[in-house]
């Protein structure tokens, strides 16, 4: 979306941005905290999740990689974060004040449209995730999780991930025990190879059918 900014606006952002380096496991921002900056992931990987204040349960909404932007629903509403962001590995994040974006949006309709398009695309993905979590059985949820990692995150049917089994469970809204059991079943059926954090999708067509049938 920055291609719609003028040279002066780009220079202003670049002069005022701040880069912060995070170690694996460090929190970038937390639910309920003030939303003061747009964040761009310039290196590393980040998990975004909802957490229940009354329990340890959480749902991973998405995984961010370079050069994803983080601009939550608190922007232009209550100026608060409605989810938590945690670095999965060593990560560098670029912080840009949201106040500057508000000014640019008022004076630059193309940039304003680009931000609206970005936010709506994220909403569509969350709607699709909601359907998966509420209407599919455990095997369909795990198939969706593996396809999401292969297609959208690692862009390869063979990948090594820093996601733990608990993380995979949190993506799929299942227990850790159920996640481990289904991964074992998929392995025994020859759909995947799963060796610790190394995954290979051997029968993607079957995995896609499981995803569709739920």
Which pTM does this prediction carry?
Answer: 0.89
Q: Identify the three-state secondary structure at position 179.
A: helix
The confidence score (pLDDT) of residue 200 equals 98
Per residue in 16-71, pLDDT (tens digit) is 899 999 999 999 999 999 999 999 999 999 999 998 777 678 999 999 999 999 98
The confidence score (pLDDT) of residue 18 equals 94
More confident residue, 185 or 51: 185
- Beginning with the edge strand found earlier in the chain, give each strand of the sheet holding 192-195 in spatial order: 158-160, 198-201, 192-195
Q: Which residues of 9-48 are buried (b: 16+ CB within 10 A; e: fewer)?
A: beebbeeeeeeeebeeeeebbebeeebebbbbbeebbbbb
Query: What domains are there in the chain, each with its CATH number?
Result: 2-132 (2.60.120.10), 136-213 (1.10.10.10)
Cα dihedral sign for 50, 53, 55, 56?
positive
Percentage of the chain exceeding pLDDT 90: 72
More confident residue, 199 or 125: 199
Q: Region 167-192: what's the mean pLDDT?
A: 96
The confidence score (pLDDT) of residue 51 equals 86
């Amino acid at each position: 979306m920055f291609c719609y900014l003028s040279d002066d606006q780009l220079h202003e952002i670049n002069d005022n941005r701040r880069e912060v380096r995070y170690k694996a496991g460090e929190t970038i921002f937390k639910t309920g905290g003030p939303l003061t900056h747009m964040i761009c992931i310039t290196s590393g990987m980040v998990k975004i999740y909802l957490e229940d204040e009354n329990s340890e349960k959480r749902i991973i909404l998405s995984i961010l990689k370079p050069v994803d932007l983080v601009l939550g629903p608190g922007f232009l509403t209550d100026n608060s974060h409605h989810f938590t962001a945690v670095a999965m590995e060593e990560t560098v994040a670029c912080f840009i004040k949201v106040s500057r974006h508000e000014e640019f949006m008022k004076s630059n309709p193309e940039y304003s449209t680009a931000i609206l398009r970005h936010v709506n695309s994220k909403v569509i993905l969350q709607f699709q995730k909601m359907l998966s979590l509420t209407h599919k059985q455990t095997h369909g949820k795990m198939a969706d999780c593996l396809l999401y990692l292969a297609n959208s995150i690692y862009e390869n049917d063979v990948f090594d991930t820093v996601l733990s089994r608990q993380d995979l469970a949190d993506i799929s809204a299942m227990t850790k025990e159920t996640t481990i059991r289904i991964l074992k079943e998929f392995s025994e059926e020859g759909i995947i190879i799963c060796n610790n954090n190394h995954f290979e999708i051997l029968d993607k067509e079957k995995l896609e059918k499981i995803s569709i049938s739920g």
